[in-house]
Amino acid sequence: MGVEEEFLLVDPETRFLVPLAESVIAKASPELGDRVGPELTLYQVETRTDPHTRLTALADQLHSTRVQLARAASAGGARLVSSGAPILHPGGPPPITRGDRYARSAAWFAALDDEQVSCACHIHIGFDDRDHALQVSNHLRVWLPTLIAVAANSPFWAERDTGYASWRTMAWSRWPVAGPPPHFASTDHYDDLVATLIGTGAVLDHSGIYWDIRPSHHLPTLEIRVADAALTVDHTTLLAGLVRAAAATALDAVHRHQPAPQLDPHLLRSAYWLAARDGLTGNALDLTRSRLQPAARRLHTFLTWLAPALRRHGDHQHIETLTTHLRPHATGTARQHIAYQQRHRFTDVVDTLVTHTLVPPNSHQ
C-alpha cells in the first residue's frame, strides 16, 4: 500500500491561502525528491509515500514527510495544513499551476477548476491482476459512504460552516466523471467506457478519471480516492489500514466467486450525501437492506467484515485502537468544529489544523 496526501499552504499571520507551492516544492525536493509535487493550484502541494506492507512503517514515513514539508513551507513563509477544504480563502479564481495539462483543464472545465481548491487522501493497494482489481472495486462500492464518514475533514469552506462533515465530497461530485465508480463487467467494459469518456471530452485523459475507486493507469495498483485529506497521521494510517483490509476481504470474495452487491445508483448517491452531511454522528444508509441505521453501527458492521483480514495482516489491535480514539468526537470535522466553537474565529480552526497536521503517530489527539 502507498499513500498520496494533498495539503494546503496558508499565511502564518492572516491564515489565508497563499500561492507558494512552487517555492515550497523546490525547498522540499532535496529531501523528498519525487515524493513531493504540484497539484492543480498554487495553494496546494502533494506528497507520496513509498510502497509499504506494515502500518507502523507507513505511519513513520507519513510523519517524517509532513515534518519535512512543513519545514520547507516555513522556510518559504507559509504553514502546512491538512484539511479537505480551505478555511480562509482570498476569493476569486485560484492561481493555476503552470503546465500544459493544467492549462488545458482550466480552459476546458472553466469554473470547475476555479472552485477546485480541495484536498484528498488517496490510498493505493498493489494488484498484479487488473481484472481482480476491478472486481474488488465492484465489492468495495458498498462501503465508500462509510469511508467518507470516517475520513470527513472539511466542514468549513471560505469562512462558512457548510453544514456538512465533508463538503469536499459535495464539491468534488460536480465533476462529470467523479464519485462512485460504475459496476464493471470486465476490463474491456472499463477500457471501452474510459475511451468513450475521453472521446466525448468529459475527461481530458486517463488521469482525469475521478471515480472514487480506479485502477491506476501507470502503476499496478487500485486507487481508493474517496477520503478528505486527513487531519493527523493517525487518521491517514487508520484509513490506509481499513482500505487494505477491505481490498483483501473483497479479493477473498472474488476468489470464492461471490457476486458483488448490486446497488441502486440513486441509493448509492443518497448514501454518499448522508455520509458527507453527517459523518459518523448521524444516520447511514445500509445499501444492502435499503434502510437507515446509526453511522456508528454501520462502521461496526464494516469493521466486523474486515476483522479476519486485519488479523491476517497483524493490524487488528492497531486499527482497533485508532478506531476507538476516533469515536465519537475526534474526527477531523469534529476537531475543526471544536476549535471554532471556542471563540467563533476561523483563524483558530486554521491554527488547530496547523498543529494537528504535525502530531506524531500514536498520539491519539
**pLDDT tens digit sequence for 39-74:** 999 999 999 999 999 999 999 999 999 999 999 999
* Band of residue 255 on the pLDDT scale cut at 50, 70, 90: very high
Q: Residue count of the chain, please give it.
A: 365
87, 102, 91: which is closest to 21 by C-alpha? 102
Residue type, 213: I
Q: Would you tell me how many other CB atoms lie within 10 Å of the CB of residue 252?
A: 15
Residue type, 33: G
User: CA gyration radius for the chain?
Assistant: 19
Q: Is the pLDDT of residue 361 over 70?
A: yes
CA atoms within 13 A on the CB side of 343: 8
86, 114, 91, 135: which is closest to 261 by C-alpha? 135
Q: What is the mean pLDDT of residues 154-163?
A: 97
Q: How does pLDDT run across 227-249, given as a tens digit for each residue?
A: 999 999 999 999 999 999 999 99
pLDDT for res 364: 65
Q: How does pLDDT run across 5-32, given as a tens digit for each residue?
A: 999 999 999 999 999 999 999 999 999 9
Please give the mean pLDDT across all residues of the chain. 96
Q: Is the pLDDT of residue 365 over 80?
A: no
What domain count does the chain have?
A: 1
Q: Is the pLDDT of residue 197 over 70?
A: yes
Q: Crossing angle of helices 295-313/316-326, nearest 10°?
A: 160
Q: How does pLDDT run across 75-96, given as a tens digit for each residue?
A: 999 999 999 999 999 989 999 9
Q: Would you tell me how many other CB atoms lie within 10 Å of the CB of residue 95?
A: 15
**Domain, as residue range, for 26:** 2-357
- In SS3 terms, the chain reads as CEEEEEEEEECCCCCCECCCHHHHHHHHHHHHHHHEEECCECCEEEEECCCCCCHHHHHHHHHHHHHHHHHHHHHCCCEEECCCCCCCCCCCCCCECCCHHHHHHHHHHCHHHHCCCCCEEEEEEECCCHHHHHHHHHHHHHHHHHHHHHHCCECECCCCECCCCEHHHHHHCCCCCEECCCCCCCHHHHHHHHHHHHHHCCCCCHHHCEECEEECCCCCEEEEEEEECCCCHHHHHHHHHHHHHHHHHHHHHHHCCCCCCCCCHHHHHHHHHHHHHHCCCCEEEECCCCEEEEHHHHHHHHHHHHHHHHHHHCCHHHHHHHHHHHCCCCCHHHHHHHHHHHHCCHHHHHHHHHHHHCCCCCCCC
pLDDT for res 181: 97
* Band of residue 114 on the pLDDT scale cut at 50, 70, 90: confident
Q: State what percent of residues in the chain have pLDDT above 70.
A: 99
Chain centre distance of CA 92? 25
Q: Is residue 365 part of a domain?
A: no
Peptide bond into 328 cis (omega under 30): yes
Chain centre distance of CA 155? 14
pLDDT for res 216: 86
Give the Å distances, CA to CA, from 80 to 28, 32, 65, 315.
Answer: 12, 15, 12, 29
Place of cell 456508528: 296
- On whether the CB atoms of residues 172 and 273 are closer than 8 A, the answer is no
Q: How does pLDDT run across 307-356, given as a tens digit for each residue?
A: 999 999 999 999 999 999 887 678 999 999 999 999 999 999 999 999 99
225, 228, 226, 236: which is closest to 358 by C-alpha? 236
Q: Is the pLDDT of residue 217 over 90?
A: no
Q: Is residue 94 part of a domain?
A: yes
B/e letters for 186-208, b = 16+ CB within 10 Å, e = fewer, are: ebeebeeebeebbeeeebeeeeb
pLDDT for res 163: 98
Q: Is residue 287 part of a domain?
A: yes
Q: Is residue 161 part of a domain?
A: yes
Q: Is residue 312 part of a domain?
A: yes
158, 107, 114, 148: which is closest to 278 by C-alpha? 148
Q: Is residue 364 part of a domain?
A: no
pLDDT for res 362: 87
Q: State what percent of residues in the chain have pLDDT above 90.
A: 93
Q: Would you tell me how many other CB atoms lie within 10 Å of the CB of residue 337?
A: 16
pLDDT for res 330: 87
Q: Is residue 353 part of a domain?
A: yes
Q: Is residue 110 part of a domain?
A: yes
CATH of residue 180: 3.30.590.20
Residue type, 159: E
